[in-house]
Amino acid sequence: MAKKPISFVLNGQDTSVFVEQGGNLLDELRRTVGDLSPKFGCGQGTCGACTVLINGEPQLSCLVLAERVEGQRIDTNGGLAEGPDLHPLQKAFVEGFAAQCGFCSSGMLMAAKALLDRNASPSRDEIAEAISGNLCRCTGYEPIIDAIVVAAENMRRRTT
């Protein structure tokens, strides 16, 4: 089957690739583009490890038909850091032991980023809701919620 050329903006960079027809965005990001930050967990949208932002909104890249992102803006965990500086969310995850095996972190971070982009001081309940589609089997979630609270504080401090 002929591959299809598509162009989109990945983490701020214009990106053009040939995608498999019927291929999902996660596979294309990982195999074709080489961005290994979104993870393949379940392939059913249940675990959230493949969460990326499409035009700023979290979506499950394993369930997105790759060719549908033509002209769209995609953000992944691979684009969060600025050079050597980790994003405040990434920093808070590391310092607060919000990652153990780390497999869910990439999706958690993107779900959290989508929340903080919209709401600079979320409550713990709002955070739990925002990450409710992301499974973590190590931490019991509390350290993740703590880390997002800390990151939000640090980001507010940075902007004031």
Partner 1 sequence: MSIEVKSFDTLRQASEVLGGSAQYIAGGTLLMRKVNYGDQSFNQLVQSTDPALKQIQSQGDEILIGAGVTMSEIMQHPQLQFLGEVARSVGGPAIRNMATIGGNLFAPRPYGDMATALLALDANLHWASGQQQSLEQFLERSDAARDIVHSISVRQPPTGAFQYLKVSRVKPKGVSLLTVAVLLNRENGRTGNVRIAFGGMAPEPRRAMAAEQALQGASLDESGIQRCLAACTEGMAPADDSLASSWYRNEVAPVYLKRLLLQRS
Applying CB under 6 A, which residues contact ligand FAD? 44-46
The alpha carbon of 20 is separated from its chain's Cα centroid by a whole number of angstroms, namely 22
| Max Cα–Cα distance, the chain, nearest Å | 54
CB neighbours of 77 closer than 8 A, spacing ≥ 6? 37, 38, 90, 105, 106, 107, 109, 110
Please identify, using beta-carbon distances, which residue of 21 and 121 lies nearer to partner 1. Answer: 21
Closest distance between ligand FAD and the C-beta of residue 82, in Å? 32
Q: Which span sits near partner 1 by CB under 8 A: 29-37, 56-64, 77-85, 148-156?
A: 56-64
Does 49 participate in binding partner 1 (rule CB under 8 A)? no
Please identify, using beta-carbon distances, which residue of 46 and 55 lies nearer to ligand FAD. Answer: 46
Exposure of 45 by Cβ count < 10 A (0-12 exposed, 13-18 middle, 19+ buried)?
Answer: middle
Does 139 participate in binding partner 1 (rule CB under 8 A)? no
Closest distance between partner 1 and the C-beta of residue 36, in Å? 18
Angle at 11 between CA 68 and CA 129, to 5 degrees: 75
Enter the tokens of residue 151. 């990151």
Please identify, using beta-carbon distances, which residue of 56 and 102 lies nearer to partner 1. Answer: 56
Residues that bind partner 1 (CB under 8 A): 1, 4, 20-22, 24, 43-45, 48, 51, 54, 57-60, 62-65, 67-68, 111, 114, 128-130, 132-134
